[in-house]
Each structure stands twice: as structure tokens, then as C-alpha cells.
Amino acid sequence: MTRYGAVLGIRPEHIAEYKRVHAAVWPEVLKQIRLCQITNYTIFLREPENLLFSYYEYTGTDHDADMARMAADPKTQEWWALCGPMQRRLDSNAPGEWWGAMEEVFHSD
């Protein structure tokens, strides 16, 4: 199992809507997350900085292939089209990166 953390901005005028849609994530999106071997997926919000922090555990053996499978899923694409305008890419993200990858520097069970 590998842990992944990432950060992204959220537009302050969309925080309430972002919370609303994530209170009832579409079942097809949740199914795709599981099919792509992601568990313990969590998104945290930090205000007033308006940052989203995501965390998940990947239990598969080919992360890139599973992420490509997720990106190719039509219902996931529809979900991303809904949520994308609410989010704000950070200037420090790598080219082409939406959620900014984070380095794990400590973990304790």
C-alpha cells in the first residue's frame, strides 16, 4: 500500500457548493475509485487559505494505469467537469498537474 497526498486551491465563492456535492458523491464515481484500487480517500478543507488536501491509500500495483483508467471513465469525467471550476490550480504545481503532489515526510500507525 502506498499513501498519496495532494493539495489544490478552492475558489471561496464555491466552498458551500463543493461541500454540498461531496456530501453525496455519485455512486458511479465511488465505484470507479474502488475499481482503481484507492481506499481511505479523504479530502480536507483549510480556510481561510482555501486549500483542499486529499489523501488516499493505493493498494494496486500500477498506479499510472489505474489513474489512466479513472481518467478515461465517462462518469468520472462528468464529475471532474462539475468540480473543476470550483477548484483553483496552485501556481507551484508542476506543468500539467492539477492536484499538487506532496512528499510524505512522516507517518506513524
What are the pLDDT digits (tens) for 17-60?
A: 999 999 999 999 999 999 999 999 999 999 999 999 999 999 99
Question: pLDDT tens-digit profile of 75-104?
Answer: 999 999 999 999 999 999 999 899 999 999
pLDDT, position 109? 87
Alpha carbons within 13 angstroms on the beta-carbon side of residue 72 total 8
Give the cell for residue 44: 480536507
Q: Give the Cα separation of 4 and 6 in Å (integer).
A: 7
Cα dihedral 65/66/71/72 (nearest 10)? 70
Does residue 32 contact residue 73 with C-beta atoms inside 8 Å?
Answer: yes
Residues 6+ apart with CB under 8 A from 32: 70, 73, 75, 76
Domain range list for the chain? 2-101
Residue range 2-101, CATH number = 3.30.70.100
